[in-house]
Amino acid sequence: MTEAGSDRARVLDAEDPLHHLVDEFVAGGDVIAYLDGNSLGRPTRNTAGRVRDFIDGEWGGRLIRGWDESWFELPLTLGDRIGEAVVGAAPGQTVVGDSTTVLLYKLARAAWDLNQGRTEIVIDRDNFPTDRYLIEGIAAETGATVRWIDAEPRGGVTADDLDAVVGEQTALVVLSQVAYRSGHLLDVPAVVEVCRRHGALLLLDICHSAGAVEVGLDAWGVDLAVGCSYKYLNGGPGSPAVAYVARRHLERIRPPIWGWMGAAASFEMVQGYTPAAGIRRILSGTPPIYAMLPMMDMLDLIESATVPAIRAKSVTLTEFAIDLVDGQLADLGVTVASPRDPRRRGGHITIDHPAAQAATGRLWERGVIPDFRHPNGIRLGFSPLSTTFGEVAVGIAAVGDELRRAAERTGM
Ligand SMILES: Cc1ncc(COP(=O)(O)O)c(C=O)c1O
Ligand SMILES: Nc1c(O)cccc1C(=O)C[C@H](N)C(=O)O
């Protein structure tokens, strides 16, 4: 690590008003720089105790009575909490339920039915694979035509890119607020304006934004949204996702899977399906209560820190990282594949180099954990409450070492 990098990191950590929260996370093992919190956040220290208490108390002690006492409502109460603290949604519009992929499918398919008579779905080619695949699946199922946005990946999708593709036949637009590879931050209000003008519904993927950048679903007029809870909400591997349906659509939206947990009067077990009133209808089967526990500890921390303060630290982390990349890695042929304007950048950056894949393997062996993203990207994700500036400096210096070694070995 260069001395200038580590000195600056020390100052930034000392000045960071959220630095004390780093101690709230489990930081065991051999990891010296964890730069993948946007793929899987660390557990909080409180989570083991919460899970133990749940096993002894609510599950072990209350057993099946737990459903009447709190579990049946938990997907909605937890959804409301996320709505208020993280995604800017008033109560009654946000629910925690299935995996991200399943919720994206359910909302996209329901949106197709809501906007009947139209023939097209718009999505961008650089969106996360599951988003693209499930839209292609819905097209195969319904006969919809998929219209692709081919945005310049580093630039990300703009409202103008969307305006060029969307039209009177567009039923639905599916975009990510923060692009999983480049970290590009979408101008959501501008995109909403284009969708509204053409009568298209917007389904926003907030996986890489919820918990790291400001999300204002109600204020922006977004129609539908889905986000992960295992990234910046630290819910643990495979923790359930969160879905949002704007109140104006709740009465008419019809989920594609008619399960008993999303039906009116689930425990009356009547003949014939009637959807539950409100956001509950987005649920299908028994929700994974146990897997909802860890994110509650992270929500405690997010509520105490607040999203604007988290975003401010996130911007400083990515600015610092880009400065180090420019200062230490540009001579090695590394280029920044993320927006340089912090207003258009989320909580992670990607840097490109032909030896990225080989270097990432070596980095993992030495306890420096970024992500490799095809074809030649090293993705550096900073989880604002658990990542220190010191970790960023250690990590980027290690990336430099390994790229230098890989270049010597391979001549790249
Ligand atoms: C933008 C985005 N959408 C969707 C997913 C898929 O989510 P899941 O595997 O939880 O269904 C991910 C991450 O895996 C993602 O980054
Ligand atoms: N969901 C993941 C998984 O089950 C295994 C490994 C990684 C993931 C991820 O979250 C990938 C992540 N969404 C990404 O943006 O790359």
Structure confidence at residue 154 (pLDDT) = 77
CA–centroid distance, residue 320 to ligand 1 (Å) = 27
Phi, psi of 143 (to 5 degrees): 85, 5
CB of 39 sitting under 6 A from ligand 2: yes
Please report, for residues 35, 154, 169, 342, the alpha-carbon distance to residue 179 in angstroms, rounded to integers and kept in the order given: 17, 10, 26, 14
CB of 180 sitting under 6 A from ligand 2: yes
User: The domain 3-44+306-410: what is its CATH number?
Assistant: 3.90.1150.10
Active-site residue identified among 62, 72, 128, 352: 128
Active-site residue identified among 8, 106, 118, 231: 231
Residue 153, classed as helix, strand or coil, is coil
* One-letter amino acid for residue 141 of the chain: E
Question: Which CATH architecture best describes the domain 72-302?
Answer: 3-Layer(aba) Sandwich (3.40)
The boundaries of every CATH 3.90.1150.10 domain in the chain are 3-44+306-410
Strand pairing category for 201-205 and 145-149 = unpaired
> What token pair was written down for 213?
């950048």
Structure confidence at residue 1 (pLDDT) = 61
Please report, for residues 351, 367, 393, the alpha-carbon distance to residue 362 in angstroms, rounded to integers and kept in the order given: 16, 9, 17
Structure confidence at residue 411 (pLDDT) = 65
CB of 232 sitting under 6 A from ligand 2: no
Phi, psi of 32 (to 5 degrees): -105, -20
CA–centroid distance, residue 56 to ligand 1 (Å) = 32
Structure confidence at residue 153 (pLDDT) = 75
Is 98 assigned a catalytic role?
A: no
Q: Which of 40, 103, 126, 184 to mutate to test the pocket of ligand 2 (most atoms within 8 A of CB)?
A: 40
Structure confidence at residue 151 (pLDDT) = 84
CA–centroid distance, residue 61 to ligand 1 (Å) = 35
Residue nearest to atom 2 of ligand 2 (CA): 39
Complex ipTM value: 0.96
Q: What number of CA atoms fall less than 13 Å from residue 93's CA on the CB side?
A: 22
Q: Under a CB-based contact definition with an 8 Å cutoff, are residues 242 and 226 in contact?
A: yes
Is 54 assigned a catalytic role?
A: no
Going by C-beta distance under 8 Å and a sequence separation of 6 or more, which residues neighbour residue 158? 151, 187, 190
Going by C-beta distance under 8 Å and a sequence separation of 6 or more, which residues neighbour residue 248? none
> Does pTM surpass 0.90?
yes
**Local confidence pLDDT in tens for the 412 residues of the chain:** 677 789 999 999 999 999 999 999 999 789 999 999 999 999 999 999 999 999 999 999 999 999 999 999 999 999 999 999 999 999 999 999 999 999 999 999 999 999 999 999 999 999 999 999 999 999 999 999 999 999 887 779 999 999 999 999 999 999 999 999 999 999 999 999 999 999 999 999 999 999 999 999 999 999 999 999 999 999 999 999 999 999 999 999 999 999 999 999 999 999 999 999 999 999 999 999 999 999 999 999 999 999 999 999 999 999 999 999 999 999 999 999 999 999 999 999 999 999 999 999 999 999 999 999 999 999 999 999 999 999 999 999 999 999 999 888 876 6
Between CA 334 and CA 326 the distance in angstroms is 8
Between CA 388 and CA 16 the distance in angstroms is 9
Residue 18 CB burial class (10 angstroms; 0-12, 13-18, ≥19): middle
Going by C-beta distance under 8 Å and a sequence separation of 6 or more, which residues neighbour residue 378? 350, 351, 352, 353, 356, 359, 360, 370, 371, 372, 399
Q: Which-ligand-closest: CA of 108?
A: 1
Between CA 285 and CA 28 the distance in angstroms is 36
Q: Which-ligand-closest: CA of 128?
A: 1
Phi, psi of 210 (to 5 degrees): -60, 115
CB of 207 sitting under 6 A from ligand 1: yes
Active-site residue identified among 25, 54, 230, 244: 230
Is 379 assigned a catalytic role?
A: yes
Residue nearest to atom 1 of ligand 2 (CA): 39
Phi, psi of 227 (to 5 degrees): -145, 155
Q: Which-ligand-closest: CA of 99?
A: 1
Between CA 165 and CA 123 the distance in angstroms is 10
> Which residue bears the tokens 């890489």?
208
Structure confidence at residue 4 (pLDDT) = 78
The boundaries of every CATH 3.40.640.10 domain in the chain are 72-302
Q: Under a CB-based contact definition with an 8 Å cutoff, are residues 370 and 379 in contact?
A: yes
